[in-house]
Amino acid sequence: MTRLKRISYSFLLLQLLLISCKTVPITGRKQLSIIPSSTMQQLSEEGYRQQISNTPLSSNKSETERVKRVGRKIISAVEKYLQQEGQSNRIAGFNWEINLLESKEANAFCMEGGKIAFYTGIMKYCPSDDAIAVVMGHEIAHAIAHHGGERMSQMLVTQAGGTTLNLAMRNQPNLVRNLTLASYGVGSQVGVLLPFSRTHETEADRMGLIFMKMAGYNPHEAARFWERMAAGSKGSPPKWLSTHPDHQTRIENLKKWANE
């Protein structure tokens, strides 16, 4: 490579890094964002439809309504917050949807684009609206922080041999669909279940606490919820815990932050 070529190559790379760097609200962490939010939203929409069609909706009307009500309150708090901060672009194109699915699995997720699902299995850890708000705030935070796109990039490297997303979508559409689901902690049948990184978890915990408090829920419930989850993990661990590791550190942090 000639010197000139090398310089222009480095310049291109630098430009690419600059345009693909974004800042996470609240924590201010700089993140590399290679996959556009619009692409993640499209993939999430497909993954979500697949998940919803494979799992029946809960027939419990009042519990479904509770989950939706808490979700709507947190969503409007989040939208207000992002607007105040001039960061509404974080949720551009989001089309929120909340469903309660009938499954023993103790799990919940929010995919990019605002596609939220709670499984009835997690409801036994949620005796109050405050507890639902803990899970809801945390999962919505993952979506607002675009953790799915970051994880997707990592997984393309480890699972698809570093191929580009476009190429993978063309050649291995099933793999891409499964990786998308796995990016949001939806393991389903594929066996790819990557725990969220500590950075992502801490970020989602902090943002989630702030969102639930803004929506009028009690942030002190967060540590109690995780204690219940940890106690319930003896025997068959709730799925949520396997993608959300290190609950002891988490509980201590949540107690500290709830008092701030």
The footprint of Zn ion (CB under 5 A) covers: 196, 204, 244
Question: Shortest gap between Cβ of 204 and Zn ion (angstroms)?
Answer: 5
Identify which of residues 116 and 168 has a Cβ nearer to Zn ion in the complex. 116
Identify which of residues 127 and 245 has a Cβ nearer to Zn ion in the complex. 245
Question: Shortest gap between Cβ of 175 and Zn ion (angstroms)?
Answer: 23
Identify which of residues 45 and 246 has a Cβ nearer to Zn ion in the complex. 246
Question: Shortest gap between Cβ of 53 and Zn ion (angstroms)?
Answer: 25
Identify which of residues 35 and 204 has a Cβ nearer to Zn ion in the complex. 204
Question: Shortest gap between Cβ of 8 and Zn ion (angstroms)?
Answer: 41
CA distances from 26 to 79, 81, 85, 197 (A): 14, 10, 9, 18
